Amino acid sequence: MATEFIKYNKKTELLAPAGSKESFYAALSAGADAVYMAAQKFGARAYAGNFTDEEILECADIAHMYGKKIYLTVNTLVKEKELDDLHKFAESGVCDVSDGLIIQDLGVASFFRENKPDIPIHASTQMSVTGPNAAELLRERGFSRVVPAREISFEEIRDIYDKTGMEIECFIHGAMCYSYSGQCLFSSILGGRSGNRGRCAQPCRLPYRLAGDKSGEELYPLSLKDMCTLEILPEIINSGVCSLKVEGRMKPAEYVYGVISIYRKYLDLIESGKEYRIDKKDLETLSGLYVRGNLSHGYYDRHNSKDMVTVSSHGYKSDSDDTSKPDNNRFKGPDCLEQIKVNFSAFFKIGQHATLNAYCEMPDGRTAYGYAEGEVVQQAQRTAIGREDIIKSLKKLGNTVFSTEDDLITVDIEEGVFYSLKGINELRRACLEDLSCNLKVNPANNDSYPCKKPENTGEDKKAPMLANPGMYSILISNASQVDIIHKLYDDGELAKTCRIYADESLLTDNNEAVSTLFDIKIPVFAALSYIRRRGDDITSICALYEAGNVNGFLIRNLEDLSVIKGKYPDAQIITDYNLYTFNSKASDFLDEYCSDHTYPLELSNPECGELSKSSETVSEKVVYGRAPLMITANCIRKTLKSCSHNTGFETIIDRKGIAFPVKCDCLHCMNIIYNSVPLLVTDVPKDFTCRIELTDESESVIRNILMYYINGGSEPDIPHTTGWQNRPVM
């Protein structure tokens, strides 16, 4: 089977991870054909060792001497203010020695196509490419290789290859994200650590219990087993894959050497044309190399499965359980004790208690947090403290095991603040003491805690800026919401509503209430699915558009963008927040297909304002709604109960008692895990179209929300979050 594909294709590439020089040398020694690594900036593993410019140049020289390749991961989302840094990075010379750049941000891709056109660019798996239409769109815009979503099957991979001829790179071994890559905001909303910015805190590895489960047992329904595809390697190659990628830039050199050497052995066996047989001892060796739970094939031969999840545990096997690790002495540097890097986030607001958050990421993958609350911050009578005073104090770590740097410290401080230096020192000591305790309490637990924010006392609430308001859009997802919208429209309460987004699943529902939506004299746009997979049929949605009932589309993935634009070139299209426009270069990229885009949820208000100065087409902003924290192919209901094939909601509860609604979307066979509370923005931007997203609210709450925003009613008295509005992600 494998020989058939190899006869008419290039030699298959074995691609290894390197988060350090030791891993780089281990990869080459084990037989890797290529290595992927990151510089100090713009890589999606911010806590890996990563490489200096000098080290990248050195590694490139060595790799090329041996006929190997290196790829640089430039796969974080880049903010508008960081474009200058991106330009400096591009001019540093390190990109020029690479054999390709792995990119998530469409703006970064545009930047390199314009400024470094000779460097191949590869679409990162974080773009969540699931089909040939998205791949073709990227090919036309200069991408030479695509790393598709890890969730797609043999057949879907082959479909991409047959229809585009693009190089396809797929993961074959290592840790798996529970969410579609790039479609996860869980870590970001809890602690300000964005997975899209390389700082995921891995909330998927924490325990949860299912609401309604009388046992109250805490399980790990979001923690996927590690992938191991040794048994199906020929089928993967036959699907059209040219590069076999091993995950693990956060893992040590011994892992890289052990995994790569075994896959090298079997890739050589495939290419020799000999009978493909697996030695069980090799599977045992792989199962002992930093494996989370047991191993699975991933999604190649299944859409989802309870068997893919480490339901009862989330941790790696301990070293004592492993008797088959290779000798790693030749890859290790001198033994030394390195200080623990600490990230600080300080809040100093007049009239509120000063707070300090700290977190650190240990080499073994553990994450620990510390928190301290100080005295109430005062208005300065004489001398105010400034940002530099606080940073200077936080850097005085003395004879501790911790260290920090300016770029690891975030300070949110008002002007004219007074807080004693002694108080800051006490705050720092208390925070580090809490951090130390958490490190000691959970020595083998890759745990994480959300950063705490000062509570809103109500004194500084701002009234919505409705003196010169913009227009509003409303997203609805079920038939009962249609009835409410209809009533409010009949009562004349929706005058400032410019469009209604109807969820795709709602529009395919035969409920009679849905048809009444088209009687309202407000444009209806189809809000298409977050993910489009092979076999998902949008024929009925297209029919509604052709009949004039649907006036346009809210698009959330590149597959749909390519299909809809190709089918209806003059259609009104708005791209949603998960087709990320973090910068004006990204909006320029998407302007080729439509002229309206949505601000990413992770951008703060000042960052949105900054982007608006450079791009007029990023024009819509969500001001209310539950943020979709994860879009997943696996199913909570199927994992913890059984599959009912009926769309509905489940609820998972974390170890702190916080409940997260989970929509089981059976139309698309996926889950959407929503935030525990909705985003509610009170400082409404007047220059944008403001979007209100409804999910599971009661009629009274919906009325209150719509009246508040559209007609200046009283602020809804509901639990909510301000999300990322005043807290930029790192």
Would you say residue 30 lies in a domain? yes
Q: How many CB atoms lie within 10 A of CB 642?
A: 9
Distance of CA 547 to the CA centre of its chain: 37
Residues 327-344 have a mean pLDDT of 55
DSSP state of 350: B
Do 355 and 270 lie in a common domain?
no
Do 26 and 129 lie in a common domain?
yes
Give me the helix-helix angle, 106-115 and 83-91, nearest 10°.
40
Residues 220-248 have a mean pLDDT of 96
- Spatial contact of 724 and 577, defined as CB atoms under 8 Å apart: no
Do 22 and 146 lie in a common domain?
yes
- Spatial contact of 191 and 201, defined as CB atoms under 8 Å apart: yes
Would you say residue 88 lies in a domain? yes
Q: Give CA–CA dist 205/220, Å, rounded.
A: 7
Do 258 and 346 lie in a common domain?
no
Cα–Cα distances in angstroms (integers) from residue 230 to residues 150, 152, 256, 286, 425, in the given order:
16, 18, 15, 9, 54
- Spatial contact of 401 and 363, defined as CB atoms under 8 Å apart: no
Q: Give CA–CA dist 660/186, Å, rounded.
A: 11
Would you say residue 297 lies in a domain? no
pLDDT at residue 48 is higher than 80: no
Identify each DSSP E strand in 188-257 by its residue range.
Answer: 208-210, 226-228, 243-246
pLDDT class for 454, splitting at 50, 70, 90? very low
Residues 244-261 have a mean pLDDT of 92
Range of the domain at 412: 340-441
pLDDT at residue 511 is higher than 60: yes
Last residue of a domain, one of 259, 275, 291: 275
pLDDT at residue 198 is higher than 60: yes
pTM (predicted TM-score): 0.78
Nearest to 75 by CA among 170, 152, 181: 181
Encode pLDDT of 274-299 as tens digits.
999 999 999 999 988 877 667 899 99
pLDDT at residue 537 is higher than 50: yes
pLDDT class for 686, splitting at 50, 70, 90? confident
Encode pLDDT of 67-87 as tens digits.
789 999 998 999 999 999 999
Structure tokens that stand for 158 in this block: 């082959």
| Beta-strand pair 679-680/648-654 | unpaired
Q: Give CA–CA dist 645/504, Å, rounded.
A: 17
- pLDDT value at residue 250: 85
Would you say residue 674 lies in a domain? no
Burial class (CB in 10 A: 0-12, 13-18, 19+), 597: buried
* Residue 393 neighbours by CB under 8 Å, 6+ apart: 421, 424, 425, 428
Residues 509-528 have a mean pLDDT of 89
Residues 332-344 have a mean pLDDT of 56
Residues 198-214 have a mean pLDDT of 88
Encode pLDDT of 421-440 as tens digits.
999 999 999 998 888 777 65
Q: Give CA–CA dist 487/483, Å, rounded.
A: 6
**Among 124-133, 509-518, 530-539, 706-715, which stretch is predicted with the lowest mean pLDDT?**
509-518
Counting residues of the chain whose pLDDT is more than 90, the rounded percentage is 66
Last residue of a domain, one of 441, 460, 493: 441
Furthest-apart CA atoms within the chain: distance in Å: 83
What's the helix, strand, coil split of the chain in %, to 5? 35, 20, 45
CA atoms lying within 13 Å on the CB side of residue 404 = 24
Residues 633-643 have a mean pLDDT of 92
Which amino acid would we find at residue 79?
Answer: K
Q: How many CB atoms lie within 10 A of CB 578?
A: 22
Backbone angles phi, psi at 340, to 5 degrees: -85, 120
Cα–Cα distances in angstroms (integers) from residue 26 to residues 19, 40, 684, in the given order:
11, 21, 53
Would you say residue 606 lies in a domain? no
The CA R_g of the chain, rounded to the nearest whole Å, is: 26
Q: Give CA–CA dist 296/589, Å, rounded.
A: 37
Nearest to 497 by CA among 299, 324, 710: 710
- pLDDT value at residue 546: 97
pLDDT at residue 557 is higher than 90: yes
Do 345 and 419 lie in a common domain?
yes
**Among 173-182, 384-393, 395-404, 579-588, which stretch is predicted with the lowest mean pLDDT?**
395-404
Do 357 and 263 lie in a common domain?
no
Q: Which residue has the higher pLDDT, 627 or 399?
A: 627
Q: Give CA–CA dist 519/466, Å, rounded.
A: 28
Q: Which residue has the higher pLDDT, 536 or 332?
A: 536
* Residue 519 neighbours by CB under 8 Å, 6+ apart: 486
Decide: helix, strand or coil at residue 642: coil
Residues 216-240 have a mean pLDDT of 94
| Beta-strand pair 34-37/13-17 | parallel
Give me the helix-helix angle, 53-65 and 21-30, nearest 10°.
10
- pLDDT value at residue 47: 53
Do 266 and 404 lie in a common domain?
no
* Residue 638 neighbours by CB under 8 Å, 6+ apart: 304, 305, 306
Would you say residue 298 lies in a domain? no
Q: Which residue has the higher pLDDT, 253 or 45?
A: 253
Q: Give CA–CA dist 678/411, Å, rounded.
A: 26
- pLDDT value at residue 196: 83
Last residue of a domain, one of 424, 441, 458: 441
pLDDT class for 515, splitting at 50, 70, 90? confident
**Among 24-28, 127-131, 140-144, 282-286, which stretch is predicted with the lowest mean pLDDT?**
24-28
Structure tokens that stand for 430 in this block: 């208390």
| Beta-strand pair 670-674/34-37 | unpaired
pLDDT at residue 490 is higher than 50: yes
Residues 333-359 have a mean pLDDT of 76
Would you say residue 565 lies in a domain? no
**Among 10-14, 35-39, 304-308, 659-663, which stretch is predicted with the lowest mean pLDDT?**
10-14
Do 249 and 101 lie in a common domain?
yes
Q: How many CB atoms lie within 10 A of CB 98?
A: 24
pLDDT at residue 460 is higher than 50: no
* Residue 287 neighbours by CB under 8 Å, 6+ apart: 228, 294, 295, 317
Q: How many CB atoms lie within 10 A of CB 674?
A: 21
pLDDT class for 46, splitting at 50, 70, 90? low
Number of domains in the chain: 2
CATH number at residue 92: 3.20.20.70
HEC string of 29-49 equals HHCCCEEEECCCCCCCCCCCC
Cα–Cα distances in angstroms (integers) from residue 724 to residues 143, 192, 298, 415, 727, in the given order:
32, 8, 33, 21, 5
Decide: helix, strand or coil at residue 222: coil
Would you say residue 520 lies in a domain? no
Structure tokens that stand for 572 in this block: 């009104």
Encode pLDDT of 80-126 as tens digits.
999 999 999 999 999 999 999 999 999 999 999 999 999 999 999 99
Do 160 and 266 lie in a common domain?
yes
- pLDDT value at residue 407: 87
Counting residues of the chain whose pLDDT is more than 70, the rounded percentage is 88
- Spatial contact of 139 and 160, defined as CB atoms under 8 Å apart: no
- Spatial contact of 186 and 222, defined as CB atoms under 8 Å apart: no
- Spatial contact of 278 and 4, defined as CB atoms under 8 Å apart: no
Q: What angle do CA 500, 503, 505 make, to 5 degrees?
A: 150
- Spatial contact of 587 and 581, defined as CB atoms under 8 Å apart: yes
Q: Which residue has the higher pLDDT, 257 or 317?
A: 257
* Residue 64 neighbours by CB under 8 Å, 6+ apart: 97
Structure tokens that stand for 190 in this block: 């809890």
pLDDT at residue 683 is higher than 80: yes
- pLDDT value at residue 443: 30
Do 152 and 9 lie in a common domain?
yes
Residue in the structure block whose two tokens are 């209809």: 486
- pLDDT value at residue 685: 77
To the nearest whole number, what is the mean pLDDT of the chain?
A: 87
Do 53 and 148 lie in a common domain?
yes
Do 258 and 348 lie in a common domain?
no
